A = this chain, B = another copy of it.
Amino acid sequence: MSYASPTDPFPPDFRHSLAALVRLRRDVRHFRPDPVPEAILEEALNLAHLAPSVGFSQPWRFVLVEDAAKRAAVAASFERANAAALMATAEEDRALYARLKLEGLRDAPVQMAVFCDDATRTGRKLGARTMPETRAYSTVCAIHTLWLALRAHGVGMGWVSILEPEEVARICEAPEGWRFIAWLCIGWPREARSETPELEHLGWEQRRPLTELCRRL
């Protein structure tokens, strides 16, 4: 089957590599301490900034956190949220939950909070009146672009969400109107490349068949 199209500038080789990138992306929680070159981070952030955004509102705000005390405060927020999550987890799942390593907050050389500026005037609210949450969704598109761009360099990223959002916003001195979206741990992965999510490998959850998740009307 040929996919040729007059508007298609991307050859099959590229598409195969893109699929490999998506298959190998991973949420990384084990990092080597080696620094990530600034040029890679900058290139990836520049690509993330080209992500789609509702009304071209570009609501993503990146806060690179280098300060050790602030990083420790975020790690403490994780410890509290994770202890509560463990207790809320069904008893039969708790032993496995407790063995999972769910973040690289102590290891990742680069750490970044990402916020969505819900109060931005950029884009003049186009497309975001009935669904203001689309600004957060645009921010997620930027995060996902960053993830792929970094992984294309071999750099791993992990998205930490077991946190107290208001506490992280406070630690990051986020202005009013900024919504906390993600804490990102970035660095060279310790793990061998794998197409299997760590949570699947460790028996927490399995990949569902796509057909279960699709309908036709």
Residues in A lying within 8 Å of B, measured CB to CB: 1, 3, 5-10, 14-15, 17-25, 27, 37, 39-40, 43, 45-47, 49-52, 54-58, 60-67, 70, 81, 84-85, 88-90, 93, 97, 100, 102, 122-131, 133-134, 136-137, 140-141, 144-145, 147-149, 151-156, 159, 161-165, 172-173, 181-182, 188-189, 193, 197, 199-200, 204-205, 207-208, 210, 213-217
Contact = CB atoms under 8 A, between A and B. Distances in A.
A150 to B, nearest CB: 10
B217 A64 contact: yes
B5 A153 contact: yes
Given A1-B37, A17-B10, A204 B56 contact: yes
Contacts of A66: 216-217
Contacts of A56: 197, 199-200, 204-205, 207
Contacts of A3: 37, 39-40, 153-154
Contact of A144 (B14, B144, B161): B144
A207 B52 CA distance: 11
Given A18-B152, A131-B163, A148-B148, 19 more contacts: A3-B153, A3-B154, A9-B154, A10-B151, A10-B153, A18-B21, A51-B144, A55-B205, A56-B205, A61-B214, A62-B215, A81-B130, A84-B129, A84-B130, A85-B129, A122-B205, A140-B140, A144-B144, A173-B217
A189 to B, nearest CB: 6
Given A18-B21, A217-B66, A123 B205 contact: yes
Nearest to A157: B52
A151 B3 CA distance: 12
Contacts of A81: 129-130
